[in-house]
Amino acid sequence: MNQNLTFDSDLINRYDTAGPRYTSYPTALELHDGFEEQDYVRQIELSNARGGPLSLYVHIPFCDTVCFYCACNKIITNNRQHSEPYLQNLIKEIALQGALFDRKRIVDQLHWGGGTPTFLNNAQMQALMNALREHFHFRSDDEGQYSIEVDPRETNDSTIAELRRLGFNRISLGLQDFDVNVQKAVNRIQSEQETFAVLAAARKEGFRSASIDLIYGLPLQTVQSFSVTLDKILAVEPDRFSVFNYAHLPQRFKTQRQIYEADLPSAEVKLAILQTVIQRLTEAGYVYIGMDHFAKPDDELAVAQREGKLYRNFQGYSTHSDCDLIGLGITSIGRVGDAYIQNAKELETYAQALSRDYLPVFKGVVLTQDDKIRREVITQLICHFELHFGAIEQQFALVFDDYFAKELRELENMQADGLLVVSSSGIKVLPAGRLLIRNICMIFDRYLAKKNAAFSKVI
């Protein structure tokens, strides 16, 4: 596919509004507490009737230090003993959920996220993986996509070797920025040596993919300082980059109140940093997958995008659209059957439910037919930058021009601005529209008007 991007600062400024990242549609804001355990069980039964592979997400919430920019669901503690009761409850949840899913369904994907999954020691990680393998059917041929997020400050050669022995074959390294002043401003001191030592260990142990996470828009960042960070990382050629836009929302995330707003780069500087990132990574041969992701041309994400098989879920871009996603641990969100389900957010609530042998369901939502139609439209646009009306019409037995008459009229301004082309057969996003794909998807979001203030800026 054509990977060209056009960076038009005037267009970006004009469309710079708040909007969802569309890791799901409807977004997690539509989950409600009227969805209970019995509703989830019914969705599991529907999922089993349909069959197909599974994806597991395991949330490890603990970190021993707080990064001021963080908007994740985490628990800050230096006491490693705090993880033990949580681990026992997590293992119990794995058993309860595993008993409800057809044992023949194979786990094609696994992801441990956080927090900091490597907050757990080797024995605890072994116990957790043993429980997962006991209650779910894992691949034995190393062909599954089993990934984990690691903090290089919490990881060494022996940890990496243990993760590979446990079956992980993909790894994501949190970094954000190498600049010392930026690191101090966000309370994340992390050296090049420890970061690249983890990357080297992962390659030595045979991990098939290694990704580096960066953030632009952090305090004290400049185009020049971020370019230095890019130089250092490009020299080691990671398989993927995730370059996230920092969303400063201190009213929602208390830890962000420790960032001095006066130190944040201006909107113009942020755009200049983003433009530099795009230029540098594409010149180095990386493919722009979408949103904030770049990958080498032979990476599975890039291949899936070229083949029209890319998908997007709560962990971001994915290659397995056929998997139902089971969330395990506090705050985790799954997609099972026709529903999205979120677990309890608090440790105590989570523990209380499991002590009574209840699934720790906090919220959920069952998708309507309209939700499913709009989800497919948004997925095709955000993953492949194009949409074929005929495919939607065939899949959902509708006439696209009639069903989306209002939305097609709203796209006319975007077409006039050169973001996309609407033809009789579909929508094609142009190079100038790729960075603004969230804006394009927002046209098809029927919930957005009442929830727009809850989202971060699109750029």
| Residue 69 to residue 253: CA distance in whole angstroms | 9
Examine the pLDDT at 287 and tell me if it is beyond 80. Answer: yes
Q: How confident is the model at residue 319 (pLDDT cuts 50, 70, 90)?
A: confident
Examine the pLDDT at 257 and tell me if it is beyond 70. Answer: yes
Helix ranges, 257-306 (H): 267-283, 300-306
How many other CB atoms sit within 10 Å of the CB of residue 356?
6
My answer on whether omega of the bond before 26 falls inside 30° of 0, hence cis, is yes
Which pair of structure tokens corresponds to residue 227?
């370019």
Examine the pLDDT at 1 and tell me if it is beyond 70. Answer: no
Asked if 411 contacts 363 with a C-beta cutoff of 8 angstroms, the reply is: no
The pLDDT score that the predictor gives to residue 452 is 52
Examine the pLDDT at 443 and tell me if it is beyond 80. Answer: yes
- Provide, rounded to the nearest whole percent, the portion of the chain with pLDDT above 90: 81
Closest CA to 371 of 396, 334, 402: 396
Tell me the mean pLDDT in the region 200-228.
96
Asked if 42 contacts 97 with a C-beta cutoff of 8 angstroms, the reply is: no
Tell me the mean pLDDT in the region 170-192.
96
Examine the pLDDT at 24 and tell me if it is beyond 70. Answer: yes
The pLDDT score that the predictor gives to residue 451 is 57
Tell me the mean pLDDT in the region 216-229.
97
> What is residue 66's three-state secondary structure?
coil
pLDDT digits (tens, 9 = 90+) for 154-174: 899 999 999 999 999 999 999
Asked if 317 contacts 289 with a C-beta cutoff of 8 angstroms, the reply is: yes
DSSP string, 230-253: HHHHHTT--SEEEEEEP---TTT-
The pLDDT score that the predictor gives to residue 10 is 86
| CATH 3.20.20 residue ranges for the chain | 30-326
The torsion of the CA quartet 373, 374, 376, 377, rounded to 10 degrees, works out to: 120
Which pair of structure tokens corresponds to residue 450?
């009442």
Please, what is the average pLDDT of the chain? 93
- The highest-confidence range among 270-279, 290-299, 417-426, by mean pLDDT, is 417-426
Which pair of structure tokens corresponds to residue 254?
């208390």
Asked if 327 contacts 339 with a C-beta cutoff of 8 angstroms, the reply is: no
pLDDT digits (tens, 9 = 90+) for 392-428: 999 999 999 999 999 999 999 999 999 999 999 999 9
| Residue 415 to residue 430: CA distance in whole angstroms | 9
Asked if 201 contacts 158 with a C-beta cutoff of 8 angstroms, the reply is: no
The pLDDT score that the predictor gives to residue 321 is 75
Which pair of structure tokens corresponds to residue 86?
């949580």
Tell me the mean pLDDT in the region 304-324.
85
| Residue 422 to residue 403: CA distance in whole angstroms | 15
In this structure, what DSSP letter does residue 285 have? Answer: T
Examine the pLDDT at 2 and tell me if it is beyond 60. Answer: no
Q: How confident is the model at residue 3 (pLDDT cuts 50, 70, 90)?
A: low
DSSP string, 77-110: -S-GGGHHHHHHHHHHHHHHHHHHS-TTSEEEEE
User: Would you call 240 exposed, middle or buried from its count of C-beta atoms within 10 A (0-12, 13-18, 19+)?
Assistant: buried
In this structure, what DSSP letter does residue 342 have? Answer: E
Question: Which strand (E) or helix (H) includes residue 416?
Answer: helix 405-416
| CATH 1.10.10.920 residue ranges for the chain | 1-26+369-459
Q: Which of 252-256, 350-354, 391-395 has the lowest mean pLDDT?
A: 252-256
Q: What is the pTM of this model?
A: 0.93
Residue 74's Cβ-side half-sphere holds a number of Cα atoms within 13 Å equal to 23
Helix ranges, 295-398 (H): 300-306, 347-355, 369-384, 389-396
| Residue 74 to residue 64: CA distance in whole angstroms | 10
pLDDT digits (tens, 9 = 90+) for 67-111: 999 988 889 998 888 899 999 999 999 999 999 999 999 999 999
Which pair of structure tokens corresponds to residue 369?
């037919």
Examine the pLDDT at 144 and tell me if it is beyond 70. Answer: yes
pLDDT digits (tens, 9 = 90+) for 5-22: 888 888 888 898 888 989
The pLDDT score that the predictor gives to residue 78 is 87
Examine the pLDDT at 203 and tell me if it is beyond 60. Answer: yes
Q: Does domain 1-26+369-459 have CATH number 1.10.10.920?
A: yes
The pLDDT score that the predictor gives to residue 322 is 78
Which pair of structure tokens corresponds to residue 404?
């989306």
| Residue 239 to residue 202: CA distance in whole angstroms | 12
The class of domain 30-326 in CATH terms is alpha beta
Examine the pLDDT at 384 and tell me if it is beyond 80. Answer: yes
